[in-house]
Amino acid sequence: MIKLLNGTNALITGASRGIGRGIALVLAQNGANVAFTYLSSPEKAQELEKELQGMGVKAKGYKSDASEFSAADTLITNIIADFGSLEVVVNNAGITRDNLLMRMSEEQFDEVIRTNLKSAFNITKACQRPMLKARKGSIINISSVVGVKGNAGQANYAASKAGMIGFTKSVALELGSRNIRCNAIAPGFIETEMTAALAPDMVQQWRDQIPLKRGGTPEDVAQAVVFLASDMSSYITGQVLNVDGGMLT
């Protein structure tokens, strides 16, 4: 197997479960060393760290709240001290707090914006310094089809994911001249704990809209991350790649 990311150091936020975990494993399969964060699942993080190390790459999990501005600087400083450099950052950490607008509380709105959108600002701002120095970097933001088309009951989540797309395009414009690329991935319906929480009739509604007639897997998203992280996409920046089984077609 050709290892597209041999010797690359990558950070994935929120990798203890779901899509983030899948991204960590597939990046490691492609030769990347993996730094990752978690918040409330220390055992799962420890398991992942061991599994990644067993694949022959350097790996370390850091407990770090992506929504905390000051935590981002500490995190990136620690990663540079442990790994030496950082070429790839995947802003993946995310939550849902679904409710109809009529019932949505200010806390539900703020929590989702802080965890999903402000986290990308926090981490990207902190990682740009070492990337600017190295004149190399690929930042990948995990948005959602919901950020492109909206979804009833998810006004907070849709706003955060649409915000990530505007953020991605702006960062791409600002950092392109320094050889730092920034792209977003908009996954569709991916089978993780996040979607397991949905009502069965809503899951069926989502599935019915997918031309490929199946939900996606974390690995489906991870393969797109490998592409955007590697030199295979060296002339691609400021784009949104839909990984959705054709849902938005």
Helix (H, G, I), strand (E, B) or coil at 34: strand
Least CB distance from residue 55 to ligand NAP, whole Å?
19
- Respond yes or no: is residue 157 known to be catalytic: yes
Q: Is 163 in the site for ligand NAP (CB under 6 A)?
A: no
Quick one: 80 or 194, whose CB is closer to ligand NAP?
A: 194
Quick one: 57 or 71, whose CB is closer to ligand NAP?
A: 71
The residue within the footprint of ligand NAP, chosen from 9, 33, 115, 122 (CB under 6 A), is 115
Q: Name the residue among 53, 118, 121, 127 with its Cα closest to residue 88.
A: 127
Q: Which residues contact 226 (CB under 8 A, 6 or more apart)?
A: 4, 5, 26, 27, 30
Q: Is 225 in the site for ligand NAP (CB under 6 A)?
A: no
Beta bridge partners of 74: none
Contacts of ligand NAP in 75-94 (CB under 6 A): 92-94
Helix (H, G, I), strand (E, B) or coil at 1: coil
Distance from the first to the final alpha carbon of the chain: 32
Binding region for ligand NAP (CB under 6 A) out of 11-19, 126-134, 172-180, 227-235: 11-19
Least CB distance from residue 137 to ligand NAP, whole Å?
20
What is the greatest pairwise CA distance in the chain?
52
Q: Is 65 in the site for ligand NAP (CB under 6 A)?
A: yes
Q: Is 18 in the site for ligand NAP (CB under 6 A)?
A: yes
For the sheet containing 137-142, what is the strand order?
59-63, 33-38, 9-12, 88-91, 137-142, 180-187, 240-243
State residue 109 phi and psi, 5-degree precision.
Answer: -70, -50
The catalytic residue positions are: 157
Binding site for ligand NAP (CB under 6 A): 13-20, 37-41, 65-67, 92-95, 115-116, 142, 144, 187, 189-190, 192-195
